[in-house]
C-alpha cells in the first residue's frame, strides 16, 4: 500500500474514533475528563448523584426536626389556616407588640403592591379595577364602614393568603412588611392604628428564641 494512503487512512480512522467517543447526545454525557471537576467528593446538600445510604430517602440533606424554626424566622410562622375558620380566627389578632408604624414604608409598599387595584387613596380606582370592574370588591373603598371595622388581623390574613380575586402577597411581602401595609390601609380608612392589644403571636417571641 502506498505510504501516503496509509497515513491518510490512519488519520481518518483516528479522528472518527475520537469523534464517536466524545459525542454526547440523549442521556449519554460522552467522555468526561476529570470528573472530580464536576462532582464534589464530599456529600453536597443538594447533590443526588449517589444515593446516601445513611439518611432517609437516600438524600444528603437532613430534614429539620419537627417544629424547628430558623433563628429570627418565627414571625414567618403563621398558625392560622387558609380557610373560613382561619379567617374568622384572625379577627382577634393585632399588630405584634413591638410593632412601630413606619408611615413612609407602609405607603411605599402599598404603592407597589396594592394601589394597582385599590388605588393610591384606597378608593378602589386603581388601573386594574378601572379596566376589569367585574372583579371589584362589593365595598366602595377603604373609607367604607366595612374596612373601617375590619380588624388588623383580618387584613393581615387576607394580605397573607388572598381572598377570591385578590391573590396572596406572602411571597412578596415579609410578615413585618405586611403589618406595615395593614397599618397603612388603616391609615387610609381613617381609623386609627390600634397597636394596644398585641397579637397572641408576637415578633418579640422570636427575639426570646434567639437569646435562649
Q: Which residues bind ligand HEC (CB under 6 A)?
A: 113-114, 116-118, 128, 135, 137, 147, 150, 154-155, 158-159, 163-166, 169, 181, 185
Whole-angstrom distance, CA of residue 172 vs CA of residue 186: 20
Nearer to ligand HEC, 93 or 154 (CB): 154
Nearer to ligand HEC, 122 or 195 (CB): 122
Minimal distance, residue 124 CB to ligand HEC, in Å = 8
Minimal distance, residue 96 CB to ligand HEC, in Å = 17
Nearer to ligand HEC, 106 or 202 (CB): 106
Whole-angstrom distance, CA of residue 144 vs CA of residue 172: 27
Nearer to ligand HEC, 80 or 185 (CB): 185
Whole-angstrom distance, CA of residue 116 vs CA of residue 175: 21
Minimal distance, residue 121 CB to ligand HEC, in Å = 13
Minimal distance, residue 120 CB to ligand HEC, in Å = 12
Whole-angstrom distance, CA of residue 61 vs CA of residue 39: 17
Q: What is the DSSP letter of 121?
A: T
159 and 173 in contact (C-beta within 8 Å)?
yes
Reading the block at residue 102, the C-alpha cell is: 413606619
The length of the chain is 212
Reading the block at residue 111, the C-alpha cell is: 404603592
Amino acid at each position: 500500500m502506498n505510504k501516503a494512503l496509509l497515513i491518510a487512512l490512519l488519520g481518518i480512522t483516528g479522528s472518527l474514533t475520537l469523534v464517536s467517543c466524545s459525542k454526547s447526545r440523549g442521556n449519554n454525557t460522552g467522555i468526561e475528563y476529570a470528573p472530580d471537576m464536576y462532582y464534589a467528593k464530599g456529600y453536597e446538600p443538594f447533590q443526588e448523584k449517589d444515593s446516601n445510604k445513611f439518611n432517609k430517602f437516600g438524600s444528603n440533606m437532613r430534614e429539620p426536626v419537627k417544629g424547628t424554626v430558623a433563628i429570627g424566622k418565627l414571625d414567618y410562622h403563621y398558625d392560622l389556616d387558609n380557610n373560613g375558620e382561619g379567617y374568622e380566627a384572625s379577627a382577634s389578632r393585632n399588630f405584634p407588640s413591638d410593632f412601630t408604624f413606619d408611615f413612609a414604608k407602609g405607603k411605599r409598599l402599598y404603592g407597589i403592591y396594592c394601589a394597582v387595584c385599590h388605588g393610591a387613596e384606597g378608593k378602589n380606582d386603581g388601573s386594574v379595577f378601572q379596566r376589569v370592574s367585574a372583579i371589584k370588591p362589593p365595598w366602595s373603598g377603604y373609607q367604607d364602614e366595612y374596612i373601617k371595622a375590619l380588624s388588623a388581623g383580618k387584613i393581615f390574613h387576607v394580605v397573607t393568603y388572598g381572598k377570591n380575586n385578590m391573590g396572596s402577597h406572602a411571597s412578596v411581602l415579609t410578615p413585618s412588611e405586611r403589618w406595615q401595609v395593614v397599618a397603612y390601609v388603616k391609615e387610609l380608612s381613617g381609623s386609627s392604628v390600634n397597636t394596644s392589644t398585641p397579637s397572641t403571636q408576637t415578633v418579640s417571641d422570636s427575639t426570646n428564641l434567639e437569646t435562649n
